[in-house]
Amino acid sequence: MITATLYGRLARDPERMQPSNGGESYVRFSMAIETGRKDQDGNRIAQFINISVFGKQGDVIQQYFQKGNRIVCHVRNIEARAYENQSGQPRAALQAVLTGIEFVETRADQEKQGENGGPFARFGTPQTQAAPAYGTPMGSTPSPQALPGMQTEGTIPAPWDR
């Protein structure tokens, strides 16, 4: 069995599918995974993989994720499938079955970003203070405190001075 962990973005909204043979419904979505390469125009190249989700995980995916969300997917049974599109052109697709997910961002995170303006809005605005003028004391330095068993009077010679 082939297993993998994939990090990417949902390329389309998750959709619930009902098999024609009347079997258990499942959720299907497509994920875009960057390859780390660029094309001739400098655009990043992505690999797309279709993922099927069965059981309660499908409900979670459909409830919390939408197109564009980042996600980490643990998958099994990765397969390449060859087919012809409507115009008769040969195509290939990667398919896998989801075994687990990790939330990277949710619908609520994206809504919050939209309201507050950007992906770093959840960190708040930075608090800045003017630097003190040169020569101004930065604050009082606490005096050292004696610990039990510590010699506090007289000088202690360094080991190489003994």
8 A C-beta contact, residue 106 and residue 62: no
What does the pLDDT read at residue 119?
46
Alpha carbon separation from 112 to 65, 104, 108, 117, 121 (Å, rounded): 14, 14, 6, 8, 8
Provide the residue-wise pLDDT of the chain in tens; the chain has 162 residues: 788 999 999 999 999 998 888 888 999 999 999 988 999 998 999 999 999 999 899 998 998 888 988 899 999 999 999 989 899 999 889 999 999 988 887 556 767 765 655 444 444 444 444 444 445 455 544 555 555 555 555 666 656 665
8 A C-beta contact, residue 122 and residue 113: yes
What does the pLDDT read at residue 137?
54
Closest-CA residue to 28 (of 85, 83, 87, 93): 93
The three-state (H, E, C) secondary structure of 38-105, written as one string: ECCCCCEEEEEEEEEEECHHHHHHHHHCCCCCEEEEEEEEEEEEEEECCCCCEEEEEEEEEEEEEECC
What does the pLDDT read at residue 103?
83
Say whether pTM exceeds 0.75: no
> Within 13 Å, how many C-alpha atoms sit on residue 18's CB side?
1
CB-based burial label for 41 (10 Å; 0-12, 13-18, 19+) = exposed
